[in-house]
Structure 1
Amino acid sequence: MDLLNVFPKEQIRWFLMKKWGGYYPIHIASLFHNHEILRELIQVKNNVNFRTEIFEHTPLMLAVLNTDTSEQKNKETRNQSIDITVELLLTHGADINLCDPFLGSPLHIASCEGRNHTVKLLLRKAADINSCDTYNETPLHKASQWGHESTVQLLLDKGADINSCDTNKETPLHKASENGHESTVQLFLEKGADINSWDLNKETPLHKASKMGHESTVQLLLEKGADINSCDTNKETPLHKASEWGNERVVQLLLDKGANINSCDTNKETLLHKASEEGHENTVQLLLDKGADINSCDTNKETPLHKASEWGNEQVVQLLLDKGANINSCDTNKETPLHKASDEGHENTVQLLLDKGADINSCDTNKETPLHKASENGQ
């Protein structure tokens, strides 16, 4: 302040329009909650809704963002500093609902960071609780995604739309489920959130939790009545997702709860196809132990052994062969697993298949042998 007072107002006014790294002085004063200097800058030139050059942040957004993690300030002092800065900006006409393309509104920012004190202040000042950012995400989506349960509770108590949808039609429950925030999921379900809501791909919260391997969240959703065999646009069930991502414990849980082990997606791929393609050996073992059809065919008549061979998943190939998979099965082009492995240059898988009796001179519909495939691709 002493340094600021050295300069005449007209000179300060001129410097207020000078940028440093895309930021103007009013942005920097707001970001670090230097409210005494901020008050002087506003009196010289009121530009409280000025946006930064690159990210379009307003002073209010930066005040709420609060990057100050100094241990010298306790939580109470920090909150007080934020309050004074936010109040000052709002008093002088800062637009509380202006949105940044990436951060959203000040309420989005505070909710994303779980700053309940600031959320309460902004709501008292008439911030739009259901405002949407570029992706149609509300502050409730943000708090849910990061698992800020107390912030979620606060927003719901103040009337936030529990089933609001973003551009992907994901609800806050989708966000919480995908990130495994079990207590937040519990809260949503107690408040009446739609447990089987669909996103654009017809994925439910159970699909999300299963895909990411959040076992306890999956357990909770199932206990609360989630549809265990719900299908997305590709006809994939939550069990497909868990198998594809190798989430063995979730696969076990879903099977124990009665999920269909031989369900097929739009390409007629089973769970065993998914796990074999991705090389999830333990999941393949589990599915086989539970009775999965080892020679099931997709629309191209490819078996799980075709998938594992094509991707060079040697351990899975060994397991499937040990369990009796048809080594010379043909797809619609009459390609065998050996064709697939040769085409991709998976030498160890080729060796294994040959050791187990694969037909070295089998021909596809073009009368190409595995040697043709390997030669054509320089393997």
Structure 2
Amino acid sequence: MAATDHSRSEAAKQRRQDQLQRWLGSETDQTGFEGRKTTGGSGTRRAKVQFAQGAVFMAACSAGDREEVATLLRQGADINHANVDGLTALHQACIDENAEMVQFLVENGSDVNRGDNEGWTPLHAAASCGFIQITKYLIDHGANVGAVNSEGELPLDVANEDAMERLLKAEIKKQGIDVDKARKEEERIMLQDARALLEGGGSLTPHPNTRATALHVAAAKGYIEVLKVLLQCRVDVDCRDIDGWTPVHAAAHWGQEEVCTLLADHMCDMAAVNNVGQTPLDVADENLADTLEELQKKQNALRSEKQKQNSVIETNQPISMVPVRTRRVPM
């Protein structure tokens, strides 16, 4: 069993390492600087300098070079700079089991509860990798043991080692955290925000990195009540994230049949293609294939019926016989 736990821990660590490696040295990591370029050369150069500083900062942290990290912070580097996957330097230090860097970053203001694009906090990362010392340190410095990632998982849920599970369970008990309530917290907050939007007292913004909207999230996770309220708000049912996925792509991929039906009833584009040319059917859970085909046929039938009705209305429209008036010629 210990060998299996170790393998899972290594797999989790490698997965997070791969995220950073895909980014390091890439010029695609310009999160936070889009739209800041001004006309003229100076604005463009400034954006590139900021991007370079973020890349250098992350690399210095990953290398464990605290002196360079401190210098970069004095020069204005953002300690919570995130790459395209939403990973911060603190996430990476946790993954690397670099306790000294974790301490240095936290003491200098790093956000211990910042989630990456998948909602993983540094505590999720440390718990997944089985790093007891770092986990204890994060908890002692305000890490939320009741935080949930995008899959609704607590740090406890991604822990693979008995010692880590015991530690997190003890902390959950100590803090009196309602685990079931914590897992449903995202849906509760989203429903609250959606209702505020419906009443005209709120607004929803896409995720800064992925551009996923609240409708994407509700569709992927099957938050039916949230979805219904958002649809009442007349949000764009065919909105796209950074990969060109629409909400029905997300619902189809995660096997959310009821969501797919709701979106289809609101005439979402069942044939929409993402950035690599895939339709919702192409990315769908195999168990949903027949359902999606039926929904598309139903949509097509509704469109045909509507077109026929419009044709009949146009044909029966009485012709207006407006008398032609003789144009007056000024005297």
Shared fold per TM-score greater than 0.5: no
Shorter-normalised TM range: 0.3 to 0.5
The structure having more radius of gyration, on CA atoms, is 1
Greater RCO, CA 8 A, separation 6+: 2
TM-score (norm. length: structure 1): 0.34
TM-score (norm. length: structure 2): 0.38
